[in-house]
Amino acid sequence: MTHSTTEAFSSAAELHLFVIWNNARHCEQKIIADIAANFSVLNIYEIQWQKNLFNDNLSRFYGANLPKDCNKEIEIGRDSFLIAVVIDDKPQYSIRQVKANKKARVNTNTFEAKTRYREWASNNDKAGSLVHGSNTSTESNHDLTLLLGINAKDFIDKNGGSRWTGEYTKIQQDVAGGSGWKSLEEMFYVLNNTMTYVVLRNYENMINELVHYEHPDIDLLVLDRDRTAQILNARRVPAEEYRVQYKVTISGKEIPCDLRFLGDDYYDKTWQHDILLNRRLDGQGFYVPSETDHYYSLLYHAIIHKKIFLDEYRVKLADMASKLGLESPERCMLDEYMKNQMYQYVRPKDMSVRYTIGTSKMPKDRILHRLLKFVWRTAGEPEWCRNWYHNFNRKEREQRV
């Protein structure tokens, strides 16, 4: 348990971690001895979070909006805690009951170890959660990135195969991004290892432009808006409920960020799913749509989300079309693509986004839409107004089918 060596890991080996919260440290030696007997311990960290950020850190780590001084915070203790990073050389997977109403396929080695440690820490009360453990390698990568700011692969590369020396590595460090992001690169590094997203557009020179404050905002399409906002430590801009505007602190500057999400009808939901599924890693270190999805989603945005097809979009799209071997960008091209892919034109739930479908009914629809927005804003966002809007959107879609 106290030696330091270098050795290769098997191809099947997985990196995992255990978090021993402060109120479980009364039996930390027993837990650590068992961890060392069943896993290869790479390192054990003693972490101290800032007291004023403890609740925020806990909420962002667990993905829950925990109120200050909540039961979870009191249960686990607010003082220093331990993170044991280990290698499971022979992971075994099976179905286990992970919550009262949920079963999942987990690494049974880490799952059963975590269950033991929770029983020890809470005097055999199986409901206790004084020890956290990763159930899968994906969860481990997520947790490690948030807690230590480094993903599993980079941790192993940096660690070089050395083993724990028996001394805790003491760190005063909040969950990544807790006090804002040092850089855009740091933010996307964490996002890459925790969430599914793409930067929709205007990303070609985004890193350099944001450094010089020349980039107006970041447009993201995400799988889960609320969880992504938590990971980003983003603050919602005060506005109507349907708006998706946030601000993220990067290098000490407040950067506007729009979080479009699966099912918000910014694009057809099936298309949104495909955009996320077909994403690619850009050379700047963040995910973007495939070249085809980028082109047609930008064409859709320029025609459907704008009052007129602006020249700046025509020029950019013409260049993209040339590189893809396509004809000049026109509405008929978009119609054909939407039909071939079986995507639908949809009115965004965000009523601040223009919806220019280009039919003879649009003037009347636009008047109704603007009237709805006026009522929404002046009448305190009544429920009947929300229902009317969604019924209007549904009926219009049925008419186009």
Q: Is residue 38 predicted with pLDDT exceeding 80?
A: yes
- Structure-model confidence comparison of residues 180 and 126, the more confident one: 180
| Banded pLDDT at 122 (limits 50, 70, 90) | confident
* CA R_g for the chain: 25
Instruction: Quickly list H helices, 64-176.
Output: 71-76, 108-121, 137-148, 152-159
Q: How far apart are CA 322 and CA 7, in angstroms?
A: 52
Q: Is residue 392 predicted with pLDDT exceeding 90?
A: no
CA nearest to 349, candidates 385, 313, 375: 385
pLDDT of residue 219: 95
Mean pLDDT score, 18-24: 97
DSSP state of 124: T
CB neighbour list of residue 149: distance below 8 Å, 6 or more residues apart: 173, 176, 186, 190
Q: Is residue 360 predicted with pLDDT exceeding 50?
A: no
pLDDT of residue 1: 40
Residues in the chain: 401
Q: What is the mean pLDDT of the chain?
A: 87
| Residue 79: C-alpha distances to residues 17, 49, 88, 197 (Å) | 19, 8, 28, 34
β-pair partners for 45: 83, 169
pLDDT of residue 241: 83
| Residue 114: C-alpha distances to residues 42, 119, 121, 237, 283 (Å) | 18, 9, 10, 40, 39
Q: pTM surpassing 0.95?
A: no
Q: Is residue 79 predicted with pLDDT exceeding 60?
A: yes
- Structure-model confidence comparison of residues 388 and 39, the more confident one: 39
Mean pLDDT score, 300-321: 95
Q: How far apart are CA 1 and CA 24, in angstroms?
A: 20
Other Cβ atoms within 10 Å of 109 Cβ, number:
20
CA nearest to 227, candidates 256, 207, 198, 197: 197
Structure tokens at 277: 């599924």
Q: How far apart are CA 143 and CA 282, in angstroms?
A: 24
Q: How far apart are CA 238 and CA 309, in angstroms?
A: 30
Helices 362-378 & 383-400 angle (0-180, nearest 10)? 160
DSSP state of 353: S
pLDDT digits (tens, 9 = 90+) for 328-342: 999 999 999 999 999
